[in-house]
Amino acid sequence: MKAADKEPILHINDLVISFDGNRIIDRITFMLYPGENLVILGKSGAGKSVIMKCIVKLMEPDSGRIRVFGQELDNLPDRELNRLRTRIGYLFQDGALYDSMTIMENLLFPARRNDRLGRIPERDLRNMALENLERLGLGDAAEKMPAELSGGMKKRAGLARTLMLSPELIIYDEPTTGLDPFTSESISRLIRKIQDQYNTASVIITHDIRCAEITGDRIMILHEGKIVGEGTFEELKNHSSEEVRLFFK
């Protein structure tokens, strides 16, 4: 079954977001399907990150509808919203690790507070955390502090923490920002590996063309608040619109 033949797990319809009277996102509509990697590609400051914050209801849009896992976010009770959020993983630009905790403790902190994982014995939780770290090449970093890790390792540690909750949807916010080309390539390929191993659906927001090429099953071009192109990397690279092709030069 093709992805588009399935029910979408994310449906955004006519989303509008403004700041100080300036419309940043202008009536965009898109869907994400199970097991799919969707890239939102745009220049820095194009408004990509605010879309993601609306998906997890850290921000309220001016108008439009957002449906996640079949539930409308508008007026969703806090208890239901929090339950829905446990099904979503969010990888922040800087990894968002707690500086005062070891990498192991960073992974255990949200797991202990999760309704499902909180009932698992501590030893089993630690084994789960170590397994996730080892899968991401961080088996030797469990007892290190975040300050001891490189930028790429921090991204991997943040992703390992996200995977502790077995999310069905992962949102990657500029996953290669601030990394050298070699590490950026490694992180991009890791996103693909996560998709294959965990069967997750993902939204990847980026201005990195190479990241978009490696990670995206489908790519949307965000320009001046609107979606100006959508398709595979090759389709967009050879798009009839010069406005779209400029992103690939």
Query: Could you tell me which of 247, 161, 197, 219 has the C-alpha nearest to residue 32?
Result: 219
Amino acid, res. 19: F
Q: Which residue has the higher pLDDT, 119 or 187?
A: 187
SS3 82: helix
70 Rama class: left (phi>0) / alpha (psi -120 to 50) / beta: left
Query: Could you tell me which of 199, 198, 235, 200 has the C-alpha nearest to residue 218?
Result: 235
User: What pLDDT band is residue 6 in, cutting at 50, 70 and 90?
Assistant: confident
Residues 110 and 222 in one domain: no
From 166, 182, 205, give the residue that closes a domain. Answer: 166
pLDDT at 96 over 90: no
Total structural domains within the chain: 2
22-51: per-residue pLDDT in tens? 899 999 999 999 999 999 998 877 788 899
Residues 226 and 161 in one domain: no
Residues 40 and 141 in one domain: no
Residues 2 and 83 in one domain: yes
Distance, CA of 98 to CA of 54 (rounded, Å):
24
Q: Which two tokens stand for residue 85?
A: 């959020």
Residues 248 and 186 in one domain: yes
Q: Could you tell me if residue 92 is inside a domain?
A: no
Least confident of 13-17, 92-96, 141-145, 190-194: 92-96
Instruction: Give residue for tokens 């996640």.
Output: 68
Residues 83 and 179 in one domain: yes
Q: String of b and e for 151-187 (b: at least 16 CB within 10 Å)?
A: bbbbbbbbbbbbbbbebbbbbbbbbbbebeeebbbbb
Question: Residue 119's domain spans which residues?
Answer: 99-166
Residues 149 and 175 in one domain: no
142-174: per-residue pLDDT in tens? 999 999 999 889 988 998 998 888 899 999 999
Residues 80 and 135 in one domain: no
Q: pTM for this structure?
A: 0.89
80-91: per-residue pLDDT in tens? 998 898 899 988
